Chain A
Amino acid sequence: MPETLPHSPNLLVKLQGKGSRNIDLALETLTIGRKADNTLVIEDPAVSGHHAQIVKVQAVFFLEDLKSTNGTAINGRPITRQQLRDADVITIGQHRLIFQENATDSTAAPVPFVDLDRTTVLRGVDRTPDRPTLTAKILIVAGKTDRLEYTLTKQVNLIGSQDGATIRLTGWFAPKSAAAIARRGHSYTLSPSHGVKSLRVNGTEVVGQQDLKDGDQIEVAGVKLTFCVLSGTKNTPR
């Protein structure tokens, strides 16, 4: 199942008037204050020289106020020493520091940690390739059918007398299924049904199956049909 690469806890620093940046909390102790010897220096008269520090005790982080003049708060409450939890907002003067325990890097590709031996699912992304926009029509030239024109909207379009056939033959001796026109990607293929004696395209007998092209004349089971690819649709090979 999806797992994300482990990210160490970090601090999202939003200094008044200075934008924001991320600090990795890899160190045991991170000190915050106005003086230059702090890990995080905030040049603001409202911040004490050594204002506060974040101390890591095993896997737990604590925020300690170092008896600062103006105080330190977590989620709006002044503290002296308190454990930090994910998404806690630390306020020092006008500056905000957001503690992120399980930060994930939002700019990285959404690719889970991969164990080679296991199938893993990448979730939450719809990657369905676009459906082909190609459409085709059949025009009836001769023979008995229930309509004179058919749009081939299905993947497999049957020519026959049975219910569910796309091109419905209505002649007395019409077979239930005479042939099928199948779309695969951007091409249409014609194949005869079992037991059908003759299937011709442009006068030539079809052996096995045959790819159709615009204008092809099909003859089967006493009907003549013309295959047309609708203009304005893309017909690019995959």
Chain B
Amino acid sequence: MGGGNAGEIASALAVESVRAHLAEATRHVDLPLIGPCDATVSAPANRLASAIRAANDAVHRESWSRPEYAGMGTTVVAALLFEEILVIAHVGDSRLYLIRDGTIQALTTDHSWVAEQIFKGIMTETEAEQSPRRNIVTRAIGVESNVDVELTEVPVKGGDMLLLCSDGLTRGVRASDILHILSGSDDLPIMSDRLITMANEAGGDDNTTVVIVALRDDLQAGLWERLKKRFVA
């Protein structure tokens, strides 16, 4: 978001800030959390939210550094796996899908105007897809000095797949088509290439990012191990 290529600047900066904050927290266990602690989620979830807030600070600060960066922002979905719990943090309309036993389910709820209309029962999903306001997000990274990060935790198991994606994919490609692609192969790079191709064919002129994670049964590696994380649209 933002003029010129400021959106890409914002997302790159957000990715780096999240990575740096998590790395710092690994080195210094007592690194203070940025923002409030949420008692309804685990310590790793609070750490991930803290990292997203660090990214918000960085992007927000940078947006004031040059006129062409004014108002830049980005959406984010980040995931952290510890033991058998998946922690998801998101802001905006980037999503995380869980693919399990031949079904696909979005574990995130978009922070968008149309999502609110659907939630209130004012709009149907089909109306939302066609709405001229479907690009309006109600939360973003870097736009304001504070950000409200939504945290979700779910138990996961070997055999599950995760798809993290930007709105470029979900705007043009249906969940059922995504499921079809993800069920048709064992080769993750091929799957992600196919998804990008589908997004482009569907007219996605927004940059599309997809990250696919396959969880295997031997995932019980070390404590707090970060299997896969981070992705920004």
Contacts from A to B (Cβ < 8 Å): 1-2, 111-112, 114-123, 125-129, 153-156, 158, 164, 177, 180, 182, 184, 191, 193-195, 208-209
Contacts A119-B1, A119-B140, A193-B155 supplied; 19 other A-B pairs, CB < 8 Å: A1-B1, A1-B71, A111-B133, A112-B136, A115-B135, A116-B132, A117-B206, A119-B7, A119-B136, A121-B138, A121-B139, A121-B143, A122-B136, A123-B143, A155-B153, A155-B154, A177-B83, A184-B154, A194-B220
Are the CB atoms of B136 and A156 closer together than 8 Å? Answer: no
Query: In the complex, are the beta carbons of B217 and A155 less than 8 A apart?
Result: no
For B40, list chain A residues within 8 Å (CB).
Answer: 153-155
Interface core residue of B111, B135, B148, B155 (most chain A CB under 10 Å):
B155
The one of B101, B158, B220 in contact with A208, judged by C-beta atoms closer than 8 angstroms, is B101
**Is the beta-carbon distance between A114 and B135 smaller than 8 angstroms?**
yes
Say whether B84 contacts A117, CB under 8 Å.
no
Question: Which residues of B are found within 8 Å of A156, using beta-carbon distances?
Answer: 41-42, 85, 153-155
Across the interface, do B158 and A194 meet the contact criterion of CB distance under 8 Å?
Answer: yes
**Inter-chain contact A153/B119, CB cutoff 8 Å:** no
List the 5 shortest-distance A-B pairs measured between CB atoms, nearest first: A1-B71, A180-B155, A155-B153, A156-B153, A121-B140
Closest residue to B155 on the A side, CB-wise? A180
Distance between Cα atoms of A120 and B143 in the complex (Å): 11
Are B155 and A123 in contact (CB-based, < 8 A)? no
| B32-60 to A contact mask, C-beta < 8 Å, 1/0 | 00000001111100000000000000000
B93 / chain A contacts, CB cutoff of 8 Å: 119
> CB-nearest residue of chain B relative to A156?
B153
Contact flag A116-B135 (CB < 8 Å), given A153-B39, A180-B155, A194-B157: yes
Contact A119 B137 (CB under 8 A): yes
Chain B nearest CB: distance from A123 CB in Å? 6
Residue of B with least CB distance to A124: B144
Contact B132 A119 (CB under 8 A): no
Q: Report yes or no: A122 in contact with B113, Cβ–Cβ below 8 A.
A: yes
Q: Are B71 and A111 in contact (CB under 8 A)?
A: no
CB of B152 within 8 A of chain A? yes
Interface residues on B, range: 35 or more
Is B62 positioned at the interface, with any CB of A under 8 Å from its CB? no
- Contact A191-B155, Cβ < 8 Å, known A1-B71, A129-B119: yes
Minimum C-beta distance from A194 to chain B (A)? 6
List 21 interface pairs A-B (beta carbons < 8 Å), by A numbering: A1-B1, A1-B71, A1-B73, A1-B143, A111-B113, A112-B136, A114-B135, A118-B206, A119-B137, A121-B143, A122-B137, A123-B143, A128-B148, A153-B39, A154-B42, A154-B153, A156-B41, A156-B85, A164-B43, A191-B155, A209-B155
User: In the complex, what's the smallest C-beta–C-beta distance from A110 to chain B, in angstroms?
Assistant: 10
- A114 touching B84, Cβ below 8 Å: no
- How distant is the Cα of A182 from the Cα of B139 in the complex, in angstroms? 26
Residue of B nearest to A129 (CB): B119
Contacts of B158 in A (CB 8 A): 194
Alpha-carbon separation in the docked complex, A119 to B153 (Å): 27
Q: Which of B42, B84, B109, B152 has the most CB of A within 10 A?
A: B84
Judge whether A193 and B1 touch: CB under 8 Å.
no
- Given A119-B75, A127-B116, A208-B101, verify A193-B84 contact (CB < 8 Å): yes
- CB contacts (< 8 Å) of A193 on chain B: these are 84, 155
Contact assessment for B2 and A120 in the assembled complex, using a CB-CB cutoff below 8 Å? no
Residues of chain A within 8 A of B138, CB atoms compared: 121-122, 125, 127
A164 vs B139: C-alpha distance in the bound complex, in angstroms?
A: 31
Q: Which residue of A has the minimal Cβ distance to B154?
A: A182
Please indicate the chain A residues that have their CB under 8 angstroms from the CB of B39 in the complex. Answer: 153-154
Docked Cα-Cα span, A123 to B145, in Å, equals: 12
Which chain B residues border A125 with CB–CB below 8 Å? 138
- Contacting residue for B1 out of A111, A121, A155, A182, CB 8 A: A121
In angstroms, Cα B92 to Cα A36, docked, is: 56
The answer to whether B41 and A155 have CB atoms under 8 Å apart is yes
CA distance A188 to B150 in the complex (A): 19
A182–B205 Cα gap in the complex (Å)? 37
**Distance in Å: Cβ of B157 to nearest Cβ of chain A:** 6
- A21 vs B161: C-alpha distance in the bound complex, in angstroms? 60
The verdict on A121 contacting B154 (CB below 8 Å), with A153-B39, A180-B85 known, is no
